Structure 1
Amino acid sequence: MTDAIETGAERPKTPIWFWIVAVLALIWNGFGAMDYTLTQMGNEAYLAAFTEEQLAFYLGFPLWYEAVWAIAVWSAVLGSVALLIRTKYAAPLFLVSIATYVISAAYLYGLTSAYELMNGMGGVIFSVVIFLSLVAFWRVAAWGVKAGILR
């Protein structure tokens, strides 16, 4: 009812699949936030799963990469929250996440030894899955804006 008063038009009914995707987006991107946070805080239990070479690699990232990684992770989390509260800002937040994720992946796989350190093709496949999930969440957000669900 508040939406109708503020915008002068009723918001279309939000399909159940949209809510499912929004919750899945928050869970999926929440795992990314957990990985980022535990790594940045130096959580010993979490970092114990890394080899010495992997640990040195992760702890040796340049500051600019740390910033790009943070932006990629937290813009995806905020985009997920924006989906859940049905705001149009979800779409640009996911675009920011996609752009910064591409920068981080290009650096990791193009300019470092990440391929060898992060399980070869398995790490690449996981990176592609992350990229495709971000694109899918962005497409859902863009659809929501066009359909009038996200305002």
Structure 2
Amino acid sequence: MNAINNDKTPLWFWCIGAVALVWNLAGLAAFFMHLSMTPELLAQLPEAHQALYTEAPDWLNAAFGIAVIGGTLGSIMLLLKNIFAVILYSLSLLGVLAQNSYSFFMSDTFAVLGSEAMIMPIAVIIIALFLMWYSLQMKCLGLLR
């Protein structure tokens, strides 16, 4: 991509940044809801779902946190036109890949929840890849400093 030489930031930049921030804020909300699961709420789930929750390793929560906190901060940095968006989106992608590697390869998640439960993790991976790529492109265009 060629560098943008004018001082006016294109509208599409702000639109993509705003959508990215809303997406990551939703992920952050899901993370906090996950962390605030009480024993009473957990008891309301079917036994197989409870096992998925209780048998998950601690590093999985760390990966989830890195994914959503990195993505949220990356989106904020993107909107501030800050170069750190690239690093934060890269960290977020690593968190997403670590988190979903557990779901896809180390647990019975999809046996319990069904194959349709793969849709959201795949979408999350694609969006995380896109946001990292997009931030790199914005750096190349000179929009991030």
TM-score normalised by structure 1 residue count: 0.82
In the alignment, is residue 127 of structure 1 matched against residue 121 of structure 2?
A: yes
Q: Name the CA distance, whole Å, in 1 between partners of 2:39 and 2:83.
A: 39
Find the partner of 1:67 among 45, 62, 66: 62
CA drift of 1:52 comes to 3.7
TM-score normalised by structure 2 residue count: 0.85
Find the partner of 1:57 among 43, 47, 52: 52
Which residue pairs with 2:11 in the alignment? 16
Which residue pairs with 1:39 in the alignment? 34
Q: Name the CA distance, whole Å, in 2 between partners of 1:25 and 1:130.
A: 12
5+ residue gaps, structure 1, are: 1-9
Q: Secondary structure of 1:13's match?
A: coil
| Residues matched between the structures, number | 141
Alignment of 1:90-109 (within 5 A): 90-109=85-104
Change (3 A) 1:79 1:26: same
CA drift of 1:44 comes to 8.3
5+ residue gaps, structure 2, are: none
Structure ranking higher on relative contact order (CA contacts 8 Å, 6+ apart): 2
CA drift of 1:90 comes to 0.7
Q: Name the CA distance, whole Å, in 1 between partners of 2:10 and 2:41.
A: 38
* 82-91 vs 39-48, which moves further: 39-48
RMSD of equivalent CA atoms: 2.3
Q: Name the CA distance, whole Å, in 1 between partners of 2:96 and 2:83.
A: 21
Sequence identity (%): 25
Deviations 1:30-57 (CA, angstroms, capped at 9, x unpaired): 1111111011012689869853422331
Which residue pairs with 2:136 in the alignment? 142
